[in-house]
């Protein structure tokens, strides 16, 4: 039977909503993050507007996602000016890229993203990938730069992306624990061990490609996910997303299709059973 730690279960039961009945996860610094967000690797003005209209408030982007930050910034400027959405209702995430990994250049990286987004601060800033770390710079040094921008109030939270346990240990040793580790995570690569490790350190896990993405393009055709979806009259994508949510994992599916954008956030009207969870866990294709 699938079991949650008492701490994680308490967090899930304590979910509160920011907008459109989207639950939030409580982060280790007391901030809250909507548990479902829009992965904005590829966006258009129309897709960002569509997401905001159906209730998304959490948007995840990066400096190297083409013009994503610029597009998001343009739409946010419009909706904030209209007054229908307030800045405090939004949760905007961006990432530090390789050329800014020296401690002294981290502020430069985040300020460039803020300029493109036309914002005064981010809600969360992540080191995008330790694998692209310059040979002469440790992730620990980069993390000190992240702490600098946190103290400068350029972001309300800091975290990492694509980090393994050893790399997480290195940044945790610097005295500020990342609020999240964003990794590829879905029923085919469920990151069970990394999730347990993160939970033990009060670090959330954020799943990119939670419905497969380019790495697992056939995930949504999986017979078991379809079977479970038919039982609840939902899609296989909604089953995959619900699987993450019930494990306390934050999910940021990416879509430009208004139908799927809406579908991806409509995952709170059903609940997977322990048997469902066990069956989905059995789909794992990675020793994780």
β 158-161/180-184 pair status: parallel
Neighbours of 20 (CB within 10 A): 16
Among residues 56, 65, 100, 208, the one annotated as catalytic is 65
Give the separation between CA 288 and CA 141, rounded to whole angstroms.
28
Positive or negative: CA dihedral 143, 67, 42, 152? positive
Enumerate the H helices of the chain as residue ranges: 6-13, 45-53, 68-82, 106-117, 139-151, 165-172, 192-200, 223-232, 236-246, 258-265, 274-281
Annotated catalytic residue 232: no
Burial (CB < 10 A; 0-12, 13-18, 19+), residue 223, is exposed
Q: Which positions are annotated as active-site residues?
A: 65
């Amino acid at each position: 039977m699938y079991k949650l730690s008492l701490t994680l279960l308490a967090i899930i039961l304590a979910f509160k909503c920011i907008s459109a009945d989207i639950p939030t996860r409580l982060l280790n610094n007391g901030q809250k993050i909507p548990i479902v967000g829009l992965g904005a690797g590829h966006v258009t003005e129309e897709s960002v507007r569509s997401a905001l209209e159906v209730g998304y408030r959490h948007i995840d982007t990066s400096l190297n996602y083409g013009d994503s930050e610029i597009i998001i910034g343009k739409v946010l400027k419009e909706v904030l000016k209209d007054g229908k959405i307030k800045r405090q209702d939004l949760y905007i995430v961006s990432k530090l890229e390789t050329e800014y990994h020296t401690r002294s250049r981290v502020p430069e990286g985040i300020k460039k993203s803020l300029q493109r987004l036309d914002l005064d601060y981010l809600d969360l800033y992540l080191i995008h990938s330790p694998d692209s770390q310059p040979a002469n710079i440790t992730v620990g040094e980069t993390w000190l730069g992240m702490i600098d921008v946190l103290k400068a109030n350029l972001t309300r939270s800091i975290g990492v992306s694509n980090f393994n346990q050893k790399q997480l240990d290195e940044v945790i040793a610097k005295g500020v624990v990342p609020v999240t580790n964003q990794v590829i995570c879905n029923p085919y690569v469920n990151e069970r061990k990394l999730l347990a490790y993160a939970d033990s350190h009060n670090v959330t896990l954020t799943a990119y490609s939670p419905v497969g993405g380019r790495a697992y393009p056939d995930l949504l055709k999986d017979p078991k996910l379809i079977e479970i979806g038919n039982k609840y009259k939902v899609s296989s994508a909604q089953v995959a997303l619900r699987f993450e949510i019930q494990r306390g994992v934050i999910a940021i599916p990416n879509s430009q299709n208004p139908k799927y954008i809406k579908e991806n956030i409509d995952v709170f009207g059903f609940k997977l059973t322990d048997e469902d969870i066990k069956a989905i866990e059995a789909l794992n294709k990675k020793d994780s």
